[in-house]
Amino acid sequence: MPRKTVARTARLASIPLGVAGRAVGGWGKRLAGQSAEQVSADLSARTAEQLFAVLGQLKGGAMKFGQALSVFEAAVPDELAEPYREALTKLQAAAPPMSAQAMHRVLAQQLGRGWAARFTEFDDVPAAAASIGQVHRAVWHDGRRVAVKVQYPGADEALLSDLRQLQRFSRLFQPFAPGMEIKPLLQELTDRMVEELDYRAEAENQRAFAKAFAGDEQVLVPKVVASAPKVTITEWVDGRPLASVIKDGTKADRDLAGRLLSEFHFSSPARAGLLHSDPHPGNFMLLPDGRLCVIDFGAVARLPEGLPRPLGQMTRLSIEGESTELMELMRDEGFIRPGMRLDPDDVLAYLAPFTQPASVETFHFTRKWMQRQAERVGDLRGQDFKTGRSLNLPPQYLLIQRVTAGATGILCQLDAEFSMRSIISQWQPGFAS
């Protein structure tokens, strides 16, 4: 992992410079007779390749940001989506590994010089790489197959450096998350990432989720075997990553994965008092027995009272078309600032399409549907854009909103069809009454 701020900044700075260079080259091709469509497609493919190659090489906050963007891929218009989809899929599960020597040093620092004696087998080749660590297969001394996650040396320095630099280039990334504000997303990621650096805290989160879902027929959370500040050891689970299900899963598999993901998202605050806050396909697997395996609990939202009741009430009032009562509730909860004048029907028109999945018995999450929402709220000339810009997102709802939007992005990538209404009715307070 490149640690020096100057080196990391130079790599990040190469992204806008590369985009500018390709734009100039594109004009040259137009003058040489190539069509606008050909030039645009070529620019998109090469920009995506460079953008996510740089983010993946840097790991740290840069890669984390790339993974956060990945769930919004479904909102990108079809004519631009393919190159980004390909690059994002690679980023979700892969990054250049650290050397075995460096990894052994971290294990010795965290588990003691005799760390190898704790295992009967240990594979030095990483099975997976993530934003701030990589995972190795091993066998614990009691015979259990385990996953050993080792944090990259210098991850803490790189993380905060990346996120500061990415703030400078935030406009460049806007096309990859239509309908989302990039600057607040980066700020919220910065706040969460500091928490993720301490693997002991992540281990405690995972223990809480594992206890809450112990014996569950739909969700499996692997048990924590041991932990240290920069190393966690958990039970190994074999499954099919959601990225694979998205790419070539059967309709039945995609519908099942979508339903299980939604069930986990809405039920975990009530069952564990926590919300898993890192929704991207690399953190979920579909198991052979039909359960969903959930991993990576570094980022969580603490919701001891469960999901906020006003969210369920707003969803219900939107579906029922109660615009005046909806706006009064939103004003009470801080979604509309004091003194802000808005038409209740405009507010209802803005929110109603977002609540559509809960308004019907079965809903089909598609890329087209998500693209329509992104176009609607992002159209500078439309009333929905004006209404959206006038609304406020209270701090206590920011993380919940980001996680829900991310999970919805995965559902649209899955092209999943199931009853979201029944899940919300069971787990979202305020919706049923």
Q: Which residue type sits at 181?
A: E
pLDDT higher than 60, residue 239: yes
Q: Which residue has the higher pLDDT, 414 or 130?
A: 414
The mean pLDDT value of the chain amounts to: 80
Question: CA 118, CA 62: separation in Å to the nearest integer?
Answer: 34
pLDDT band for position 162 (50/70/90)? low
Q: At 226, which helix (H) or strand (E)?
A: strand 224-228
Kind of pairing between the strands at 417-418 and 219-220: unpaired
pTM exceeds cut of 0.75: yes
Question: CA 106, CA 307: separation in Å to the nearest integer?
Answer: 38
Domain range annotation of the chain: 5-92+170-179, 100-155+194-235, 309-427
Nearest alpha carbon to residue 23 among 45, 34, 39: 39
pLDDT band for position 86 (50/70/90)? low
- Over residues 51-64, the mean pLDDT reads 50
Q: At 335, which helix (H) or strand (E)?
A: none
pLDDT higher than 80, residue 174: no
pLDDT band for position 260 (50/70/90)? very high
Superfamily of domain 100-155+194-235: Phosphorylase Kinase; domain 1 (3.30.200.20)
Helix (H, G, I), strand (E, B) or coil at 198: coil
